[in-house]
Structure 1
Amino acid sequence: MRVLRILGLVVISAVTGVLSGTAAEAAPTAAAIVAAEALPSGAVTGRAGPAPAPMAAPALTAPVVSRVAGTPCRSTARACIELSSNRAWLISNGIVQYGPVPITHGREGWRTPPGTFAVTFKSLNHRSSLFNDAPMPYSVFFNGGIAFHQGSLTQESHGCIHLSRTAARTFFTALNGGDVVQVVT
């Protein structure tokens, strides 16, 4: 009987912890186990006895994610790209740190896809393995072979985000592996 009460309390604690979103609440404490012993017979096990008082379910709240003022991107982004206006920004803690700066992006057949990505690696003096060993200085890769890098601001790319030399250096210095890059149309 005691084991069933404790097991029932563990299940209730786990469900409560899942609903509230905290792992700490999912594990029963010693005080909770002692409190289970004080419950009327059958309160947790479903056997005859008085039913426990109904509990209100904890409110589920999603984290607040707002847009960064002056950009089309969310506050969780570290870098923001707006394809329709050919602009990019660096963001820190929901505040624009740098930009907007002009960019060019993927041409027909090589469009830069919108979405949310993470920086995977950086390469100071990268050269393209697909396009005739073309130089890609200050490369910051965030979507497979797509990267921010120094490039032409008059010609569209093969999917990469071209930046001026100054902007490419700034993005290269500021961004690190795992940083969120948001690309919007």
Structure 2
Amino acid sequence: MLAAPLVLAGGTTASAAACNMTTGPHQRQVEQFLGRPVDGRQSAADCQAIRAFQAQHGITPTAGYAGPLTWQTMNTMLAQRAAGKNPNRDGRCPTNVGRVACVDLTRQLSWIQDGATLAYGPVPVRTGKAGTETRTGHRKIYYRSINHWSTIYDVAMPYSQFFDGGIAFHSTTKSMWNPPGSGGCVNMTSTDAKAYWNLLKNGDDVFVYGRKPGT
């Protein structure tokens, strides 16, 4: 289901904005991702399909242009699909610490493993944007607050589990592919954040690695 129409400057909704009929630099890749005829030329139907994808994930302007941000979002989705049920194939998240929550910034994925055994996930996450990047390294959960309220951002952070200063796992209502990213926290869907809450506890390990595209 698509998100509600985005409101642009002047009060115009994205759904009412004119489609950008210019052929974008990632036209072929975007057409292929969306299952459109791959001819590398923008059409009205291409534009509508791209615009629907952009509206669903909060990519602005929602004009149907196959630009770098839209393709970056799709490319991240493809990397997540390729991970399948073996997200730690490269062995970068440690397997010798018992239960650990892994966060791969490059693929914007997280999962929980018990040693080498996958316990939950992988699931898409939304990490820090440029300037408020989610810090890499090996940490431990030290504080949990199921109905946390951020006094910094004046926003609810349900199922918060803090592991690095003010950085926490917590749920959000935004799309996991909504750019540019969070203020540093690892955003999750409500379902996944609740599962993490039930599976993790204070003292459990968290390992963050990689680099988010665009940061």
For residues 101 and 71 of structure 1, the distance between their equivalents in structure 2, rounded to whole angstroms, comes to 17
User: Residue 103 of structure 1: which of 104, 125, 129 is its match?
Assistant: 125
Deviations 1:110-155 (A, max 9, x none): 00011000000111000102112x0000101000110000022124
Indicate the percent of aligned positions where both proteins have the same amino acid: 34
Residue number in structure 1 paired with 2:164: 143
For residues 110 and 88 of structure 1, the distance between their equivalents in structure 2, rounded to whole angstroms, comes to 19
Choose 1 or 2 for highest CA Rg: 1
| Counterparts in 2 of 1:81 and 1:177: CA distance versus 1, 3 Å | same
Unpaired runs of 5+ in structure 1?
1-66
For residues 98 and 135 of structure 1, the distance between their equivalents in structure 2, rounded to whole angstroms, comes to 25
Residue number in structure 2 paired with 1:160: 185
Shift of 1:69: 4.3
Whether contact under 8 Å (1:118, 1:142) holds in the other structure is yes
Give the number of equivalent residue pairs: 118
* Matched position secondary structure for 2:131: coil
Shift of 1:165: 0.8
User: Residue 150 of structure 2: which of 128, 132, 144 is its match?
Assistant: 128
Whether contact under 8 Å (1:71, 1:80) holds in the other structure is no
User: Is 2:77 the partner of 1:73?
Assistant: no
One-letter amino acid matched to 1:140: Q
Whether contact under 8 Å (1:139, 1:147) holds in the other structure is yes
| Counterparts in 2 of 1:71 and 1:164: CA distance versus 1, 3 Å | farther
Q: Counterparts of 1:8-157 in structure 2 under 5 Å?
A: 68-69=88-89, 72-75=92-95, 76=97, 78-132=100-154, 134-151=155-172, 152=174, 153=176, 154-155=178-179, 156-157=181-182
- Scaled by the length of structure 1, what TM-score is found? 0.60
- Scaled by the length of structure 2, what TM-score is found? 0.52
Q: Give the ranges of 4+ consecutive aligned residues of structure 1 lying more than 4 Å apart after TM superposition.
A: 67-71
Residue number in structure 1 paired with 2:203: 178
For residues 205 and 116 of structure 2, the distance between their equivalents in structure 1, rounded to whole angstroms, comes to 12
* Matched position secondary structure for 2:193: helix
CA RMSD of aligned residues (A): 1.7
Deviations 1:95-124 (A, max 9, x none): 111111000100111000110000001110
* Matched position secondary structure for 1:173: helix
